[in-house]
């Protein structure tokens, strides 16, 4: 375990949330592990009315800015790989756009989000490089989620099948 991870205290609610309930501590591909761990939470969110789901996502962005900033500060590393709350929120945004709740569409949303989150095309890369602190940790995944949702929406609702 690296020195930054040793500074995490899972009894600290900010650290627990920032690491996606510990999913970000997975040794290989913590961002992918966090994206997968976001799916059961998303399944619970789908039982909420759409407006409430949207408010939860907006609140999660706002609280995420603080908890990611604080956890990164406590770890002594900006945007350490184990901080995956941003992946949770990006997945929740992406999955808002699936046309039907099926494992195939969830998988499609997951793959599209991971591609944009890893690849970071413009404008995602610009935000990733130029915005710092908790906002910087969150914003690139929020934008990746919005772009992924747009792609999933267009495929799901306008693809000529």
For 94-137, what is each residue's pLDDT tens digit?
999 999 999 999 999 999 999 999 999 999 999 999 999 999 99
Rounded Cα–Cα distance for residues 150 and 52 (Å): 20
Residue 40 lies in a domain: yes
Residue 15 lies in a domain: no
* 37's tokens: 């761990």
Residue 12 lies in a domain: no
pLDDT at 161: 56
* 97's tokens: 């756009």
**Domain hosting residue 130, numbered range:** 30-158
Please state the domain count of the chain. 1
CB 38 within 8 A of CB 20: yes
Residue 21 lies in a domain: no
CB 75 within 8 A of CB 139: no
């Amino acid at each position: 375990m690296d020195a930054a991870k040793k500074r995490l205290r899972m009894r600290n609610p900010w650290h627990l949330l920032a690491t996606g309930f510990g999913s970000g501590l997975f040794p290989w591909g913590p961002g992918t592990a966090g994206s997968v761990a976001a799916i059961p939470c998303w399944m619970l969110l789908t039982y909420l009315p759409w407006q409430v789901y949207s408010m939860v996502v907006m609140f999660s962005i706002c609280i995420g800015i603080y908890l990611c900033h604080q956890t990164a500060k406590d770890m002594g590393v900006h945007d350490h790989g184990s901080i995956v709350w941003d992946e949770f929120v990006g997945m929740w945004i992406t999955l808002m756009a699936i046309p039907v709740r099926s494992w195939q569409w969830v998988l499609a949303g997951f793959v599209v989000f991971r591609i944009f989150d890893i690849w970071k095309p413009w404008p995602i890369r610009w935000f990733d490089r130029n915005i710092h602190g908790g906002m910087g940790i969150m914003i690139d995944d929020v934008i990746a989620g919005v772009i992924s949702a747009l792609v999933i929406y267009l495929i799901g609702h306008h693809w000529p099948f």
